[in-house]
Amino acid sequence: MKPLAYRMRPSHIEDIIGQEHLVGEGQIIRRMVEAKHLFSMILYGPPGIGKTSIATAIAGSTSIAFRTLNAVIHNKKDMEAVAAEAKMSGQVILILDEVHRLDKGKQDFLLPYLENGMIILIGATTANPYHAINPAIRSRTQIFELKPLETEQIKVALTKALQDEHRGLGGYSVTVDEEAMNHFAGGCGGDVRSALNALELAVLSTKADDTGSIFITLATAEECLQKKSFLHDKNGDAHYDVLSAFQKSIRGSDVDAALHYLARLIEVGDLESISRRLLVIAYEDIGLASPQAPPRVLSAVQTAERIGFPEARIPLANAVIELCLSPKSNSAYTAVDAALHDIHTGKIGEVPVHLKDAHYKGATALGRGVDYLYPHDYENGWVKQQYLPDPLKHKQYYEPKQTGKFEGALKQVYENLKRQK
């Protein structure tokens, strides 16, 4: 018997749970189906949220024949068979799982059929199409992002499965404790497939009582679901979203949010990404506002790398909390980027002659370094002198901030020197 999640796949667009932004009344995919005019599309989102189910429901809501292939498993000959059917019938919908794994040969074969509309592609992928899919395919499709289902939406799917006598578990007399239902729906991380399959395991592995009734408790639900289905891996698109949210939470001084995202990164065991991102944050977002923070973060990171998980979470948490609550300054980061921007746009100019290298025979005759003023020969180790090339001599890259005592002191020195130039 096929898994419950497979059996409960919707066959029509009205049966789809969630994704209201795409299939709700008046929304884009619903309008396509009702107008009986489908365009090739790519459905993108984390695993277990119904990409293939929606693709099947879309196809099932039309009178067009559809075929389902997998870009990894099926070869070019399988696609040729779909194309032959499209030539005979005029049009075929091709539901293609793992569409980002299409190799060049398969892509080249599909392109003309997508171009003339004989094949309507509905691709499904967990990878960000803008990163993972060939631009030639991408330009011929519309991209729709699917969202993880909410807990209440997953409860609806579970309830339907319990009541459906033909495809689901309606043939059993099952009572699911409210806490158990909450665990199935809330503990799967938005992955309805995991929730449905855990529910089926619970029903099939629980002995019925004398009346033939099956009662599912929280303990049973916990055993069958085992662990929250985490919605990203170390190489997935969602992983980079979490890293981004992690840095932005620290930058925004939200300790609780930063710890939440740290916990998600710890859960997938990505100590390397955590360490690298914390060091970047220490210099990019804290910077000169608290120059003692980066060395302390480095120490915490080195400790974490030496002791490993699970204990590594402790120095990491220390570093995250300190960074969150430290004053913030990106002045050094923006200053060097401004200088790089000038370089990249050709604003360079010649090094002033008095600053040029004079450590070779004949340099003096060329005027190299002749008029250079050695700052250590002057009071306070400073003398007024031009250092920037002529086209940039009035340029100011560094914009100091008064976000901490250290940079406040730097600001004062910097402004004093600017006034004397």
Residue 232 has pLDDT above 90, yes or no: no
pLDDT for res 295: 96
Work out the pLDDT band at 257, boundaries 50, 70, 90.
very high
**Claim: this prediction has a pTM higher than 0.75:** no
Q: Helix, strand or coil for residue 31?
A: helix
Residue 237 has pLDDT above 70, yes or no: no
Q: What own/partner pairs with CB < 8 Å and gap ≥ 24 does 134-140 have? A: 134/102, 134/104, 134/107, 136/107, 136/111, 137/99, 137/102, 137/107, 137/110, 137/111, 138/42, 140/40, 140/111, 140/114, 140/115
Least confident of 79-88, 104-113, 228-237: 228-237
Mean predicted confidence (pLDDT) in 87-100: 90
The candidate with the shortest Cα–Cα distance to 196, out of 419, 374, 17, is 17
The candidate with the shortest Cα–Cα distance to 288, out of 331, 321, 252, 247, is 331
pLDDT for res 339: 94
The candidate with the shortest Cα–Cα distance to 146, out of 12, 26, 46, 11, is 46
Q: What is the DSSP code string of 320-375?
A: HHHHHHS----HHHHHHHHHHHHHHTT---PPPGGGS---STTTTTTTTTTT---G
Q: Helix, strand or coil for residue 317?
A: helix
The candidate with the shortest Cα–Cα distance to 202, out of 178, 180, 228, 229, is 180
pLDDT for res 235: 56
Mean predicted confidence (pLDDT) in 39-65: 86
Q: What is the DSSP code string of 395-407?
A: --------SSHHH
Q: Is the dihedral of CA 130, 133, 139, 143 positive or negative?
A: negative
Q: Helix, strand or coil for residue 168?
A: coil
Tokens of 122: 């509905």
Using CA atoms, how far apart are residues 102 and 349, in angstroms rounded to an integer? 49
pLDDT for res 221: 92
- Note the maximum CA span of the chain: 109
Using CA atoms, how far apart are residues 34 and 61, in angstroms rounded to an integer? 9
Work out the pLDDT band at 122, boundaries 50, 70, 90.
very high
Residue 420 has pLDDT above 50, yes or no: yes
Q: What is the DSSP letter of 270?
A: -
Residue 277 has pLDDT above 70, yes or no: yes
Using CA atoms, how far apart are residues 343 and 334, in angstroms rounded to an integer? 14
Question: Which range is most confident: 12-26, 27-41, 242-256, 261-275?
Answer: 242-256
Using CA atoms, how far apart are residues 245 and 70, in angstroms rounded to an integer? 32
Mean predicted confidence (pLDDT) in 213-223: 93
The mean pLDDT of the chain is 89
Using CA atoms, how far apart are residues 196 and 9, in angstroms rounded to an integer? 11
The proportion of the chain whose per-residue pLDDT surpasses 90, expressed as a percent, equals: 50
Tell me how far CA of residue 234 lies from CA of 264, 266, 268, 284, in angstroms: 11, 11, 7, 23
pLDDT for res 403: 80
Using CA atoms, how far apart are residues 164 and 93, in angstroms rounded to an integer? 28
Query: Any idea of the CA torsion for 333, 335, 339, 340, to the nearest 10 degrees?
Result: 10
pLDDT tens across 347-366, in order?
998 998 888 888 877 777 77
Using CA atoms, how far apart are residues 15 and 33, in angstroms rounded to an integer? 14
Mean predicted confidence (pLDDT) in 119-123: 93
pLDDT tens across 192-210, in order?
888 999 999 999 999 999 9
Mean predicted confidence (pLDDT) in 181-190: 87
pLDDT for res 236: 59
The candidate with the shortest Cα–Cα distance to 263, out of 252, 282, 249, is 249
Query: Any idea of the CA torsion for 258, 264, 268, 273, to the nearest 10 degrees?
Result: -20
The proportion of the chain whose per-residue pLDDT surpasses 70, expressed as a percent, equals: 97
Strands 66-70 and 92-97: parallel
pLDDT for res 405: 84
pLDDT tens across 381-407, in order?
889 999 999 999 889 999 988 887 888
Mean predicted confidence (pLDDT) in 43-63: 85
pLDDT for res 229: 47
The candidate with the shortest Cα–Cα distance to 195, out of 236, 147, 160, is 160
Q: What is the DSSP letter of 285?
A: I
Using CA atoms, how far apart are residues 50 and 278, in angstroms rounded to an integer? 35
pLDDT for res 227: 57
pLDDT tens across 300-333, in order?
999 999 998 889 999 999 999 999 999 999 999 9
Q: Identify residue 254 by its one-letter amino acid code.
A: D
pLDDT tens across 161-172, in order?
999 999 999 999
Task: Evaluate whether 113 touches 136 at the Cβ level (below 8 Å).
Answer: no
